[in-house]
Amino acid sequence: MTTTRPGDRRRHGWGWLAALVALAVVAGAAVFLLRSEHSPIVLSERCTVDVGDTYAQLDLEQAEHATLMAAIAARRGLPARAVTIAVATAYQESKLRNIDYGDRDSLGLFQQRPSQGWGSPEQIMRPRYAINRFYAALEQVDGYRAMNVTEAAQAVQRSAYPGAYADHEAYGRAVASAATGNSANALTCRIRVPEAGSDELRPSGLTATAAGVRKDVRSAFGRVPQGGYAPGGISTGHSAGSKHYDGKAIDYFFRPVTETSQVAGWTLAHYLVANASRLGVATVIYDGRIWTARRSAQGWREYAVPDRDGDPDVLAHRDHVHVDVV
């Protein structure tokens, strides 16, 4: 039997107290670093959607595909319901990942089969192609906007397990509501700060990274009115220190400011955040809110509107989405 003297008990007590204090200090330091604008610490890269009673977590690949579905739907003039159906279907088929395997010759986001006329394996494995093919088939389904997810998805997919799509309807509806901009600042991502690219300007007046963002947005959304850059660079028209002067920023305009234009603006803003790691995005500002890669753990924050004369909609970025890159 082991006995403990009173002095030993005191020492053990102080030891436990010291351990608790040390743990509190470490936890406090971790919180401070996580909230620090200059901290490189990110516990895990992920995105979240918070809409109504639904809180969903997505990895970066899933978020990229969900927001691409919203972008392509906007380009095709499709309603948010189409995105709900697409997201729920792809989640059931592939967990929203572009997988290169499946039942028999099924491939990709929607497990489309080359043998059933969906395209070649190479085409199906390109997300933009697969999403467009899914929407083209959905548009041929009479009354799909009024159907429940299972009926609409089954009309396109002809699945052996049609009832499974219903399991993901709430998830699909929440993710689609955020991705399509119908729920403002409802999608955010926590990422590592992307590595900086070259500062050399291209003929457009943008750096290679910024030009990559412009090309990507054009491919996903089509033509969106834009500005904030010019061949040879710009030197006026923006706040001191603006990345526009470095060819690292683009403004996408959604004018006039209406409920419809703000939905469209949030569709793009959420897309840029979901794809920030891949595209090298550092900052997104829209509708009085700001997201930055360095403080991505804090999500969308209130934007400090510059205290100067000017159009309130311009100063608060209500009429345009600002994006700048590392």
CATH assignment of the domain containing 210: 3.30.1380
Asked which of 159, 180, 201 is the last residue of a domain, the reply is 180
Domain count of the chain? 2
What averages of pLDDT result for each successive group of 10 residues across the chain (326 residues)? 41 52 49 37 82 97 98 98 98 97 96 97 98 98 95 89 86 98 98 97 98 98 98 94 97 98 98 98 98 98 93 97 98
How far is 71 from 179, CA to CA, in rounded Å? Answer: 8
In a domain, 89, yes or no: yes
User: pLDDT for 95-119, tens place per residue?
Assistant: 999 999 999 999 999 999 999 999 9
pLDDT of residue 269: 99
In a domain, 45, yes or no: no
pLDDT of residue 256: 98
Are residues 261 and 156 part of one domain?
A: no
DSSP class per residue in 129-169: HHHHHHHHHHHTSTTGGGS-HHHHHHHHH--S-GGGGGGGH
Q: Which long-range contacts (CB under 8 A, 24 or more apart) does 125-129 make?
A: 125/98, 125/100, 127/65, 127/68, 127/98, 128/68, 128/72, 128/219, 128/220
Asked which of 151, 180, 209 is the last residue of a domain, the reply is 180
Residue type at position 22 = A
Burial of 168 (0-12, 13-18, 19+ CB in 10 A): buried
In a domain, 132, yes or no: yes
Are residues 141 and 227 part of one domain?
A: no
pLDDT of residue 26: 44
In a domain, 279, yes or no: yes
Are residues 133 and 95 part of one domain?
A: yes
117 to 52, 100, 133, 275: CA distances (angstroms) = 39, 17, 10, 30
Asked which of 180, 215, 240 is the last residue of a domain, the reply is 180
In a domain, 254, yes or no: yes
pLDDT of residue 160: 65
User: pLDDT for 242-251, tens place per residue?
Assistant: 999 999 999 9
Cβ atoms of 58 and 182 within 8 Å: the answer is no
DSSP-assigned beta bridge partners for residue 289: 286, 302
Report the candidate in 188, 207, 219 with the shortest Cα–Cα distance to residue 325: 207
Walk across the sheet containing 320-325 and list its strands. Answer: 226-227, 249-253, 320-325, 281-286, 289-292, 301-302
In a domain, 222, yes or no: yes
In a domain, 153, yes or no: yes
Q: Does residue 222 come out as left (phi exceeding 0), alpha (psi in the -120 to 50 range) or beta?
A: left
pLDDT of residue 24: 54
Are residues 148 and 173 part of one domain?
A: yes
* Dihedral sign from CA coordinates of 311, 315, 318, 320: positive
Are residues 244 and 142 part of one domain?
A: no
pLDDT of residue 37: 34
User: pTM for the complete prediction?
Assistant: 0.86
Cβ atoms of 85 and 138 within 8 Å: the answer is yes
Are residues 72 and 171 part of one domain?
A: yes
Are residues 302 and 206 part of one domain?
A: yes
Report the candidate in 149, 151, 54, 159 with the shortest Cα–Cα distance to residue 106: 159
Are residues 306 and 208 part of one domain?
A: yes
pLDDT of residue 23: 53
User: Which residues, at least 6 apart from 145, have a Cβ–Cβ distance to it below 8 Å?
Assistant: 79, 81, 82
Are residues 319 and 223 part of one domain?
A: yes
Are residues 293 and 220 part of one domain?
A: yes
Residue 291 domain boundaries = 193-325
Are residues 117 and 229 part of one domain?
A: no
Are residues 166 and 72 part of one domain?
A: yes
288 to 270, 276, 302, 313, 318: CA distances (angstroms) = 14, 19, 6, 9, 7
pLDDT of residue 164: 87
User: Which residues, at least 6 apart from 24, have a Cβ–Cβ distance to it below 8 Å?
Assistant: none
Give me 217's structure tokens.
């947005």
Residue 117 CB neighbour total at 10 angstroms: 8
